[in-house]
Amino acid sequence: MKFTKYILIFLIVFASCKSSKTVTDTSLGLKKIAAKKLAKKHVANHFDRKTVDAKLKIGFKNKKQDVDFSVKMRIKKDEVIWLKGSKIITVFKAKITPNKVSFYSPYMKNYIEGDFSILKKILGTEINFQQLQNMLLGQALFDLKSEKHIANVDEKAYILSPKKQSEVFKLFYWLNPNHFKLNQQSLVNETKNQRLDIIYPAYKKTNNTLFPQSIKIKAKDAKTFTNINMVVRSVEFDKEISTPFKIPTGYKEIKL
């Protein structure tokens, strides 16, 4: 059961989190850009392909586990995210749509199926299909156009944060000054000493499309941590893809 729990955490974190007119100067001399304009540049550079077919290497580490998976990931934009994890044998399969989350493990002979409230029960906070998809594509978890932001800079990037931060967590986006996709996005709950950092060390242009070449996810609180390192070994866009998924008969349902 513990092994299944770690896979589910992997899926969730893998799943699993306003307009000032000035940006301060830096030693690198980044051009001043208004927060509203920065948000528009990020939104304008959204991923506009219909499908993704990728092969990944995933490293998962916490206090009790340190494992690697080979993962096939297929995305039909705005429709489905399909994952197949292997370690010599198939360890898990998952299919996520805007209305449904399905997972099963041939290794453990068990499964879980339901709506996104499943992820809320495990993660303790709301997460939806769009946020999960955005995270995988190097885009902001939340809609930058829905509220006003303030803008600052660090040594390498523009930083956007909501002018009025949530009472639950503080949110920060680091935008790459070259292409305005994300270098990093972070959610911080100072009261509970919780933090989620999603870092994009590099992007690769394939067929004129920027796609994260690697993603580092770091989740921690006062007692534990989870680190996920994702490396894209290959990726193709706009090809015909299939997302086969059928929970075998006789598997045991995971009760949350």
Across residues 132-161, what is the average pLDDT? 91
Per-residue pLDDT at 24: 37
Indicate if the pLDDT at residue 19 is higher than 70: no
Indicate if the pLDDT at residue 256 is higher than 80: no
120-150: b (≥16 Cβ within 10 Å) or e: eebbebebebebbbbbbbbbbbbebeeeebb
Top-confidence residue, 4 or 37: 37
Q: How far is CA 57 from the centre of its chain?
A: 15
3-state secondary structure of 123: helix
Which pLDDT tens digit goes with each residue over 47-91? Answer: 999 999 999 999 988 888 888 989 999 999 999 999 999 988 999
| Residues linked to residue 68 through DSSP beta bridges, in sequence order | 59
Per-residue pLDDT at 146: 85
Nearest to 55 by CA among 185, 221, 241, 223: 241
User: What stretches of the chain show up as alpha helix (H) in DSSP?
Assistant: 2-15, 35-44, 117-123, 129-137
Top-confidence residue, 115 or 121: 115
Tokens of 185: 């996005």
DSSP β-ladder status, 110-114 and 252-253: parallel
Indicate if the pLDDT at residue 188 is higher than 80: yes
* C-alpha atoms less than 13 angstroms from C-alpha of 228 in its C-beta half-sphere: 25
Across residues 184-211, what is the average pLDDT? 91
As a whole number, the mean pLDDT across the chain is 85
Indicate if the pLDDT at residue 119 is higher than 50: yes
Which residues make Cβ contacts (< 8 Å) with residue 217, sequence separation at least 6?
A: 13, 14, 196, 197, 198, 199, 226, 227, 228, 229, 230
The pTM assigned to this predicted structure is 0.84
Which pLDDT tens digit goes with each residue over 21-32? Answer: 333 333 356 888
Domains defined for the chain, CATH in brackets = 2-242 (2.50.20.10)
Top-confidence residue, 12 or 70: 70
Tokens of 22: 């000035």
Per-residue pLDDT at 137: 94
Per-residue pLDDT at 200: 97
Contact 90, 233 (CB under 8 A): no
Across residues 180-185, what is the average pLDDT? 95
Indicate if the pLDDT at residue 128 is higher than 90: no
Across residues 104-115, what is the average pLDDT? 92
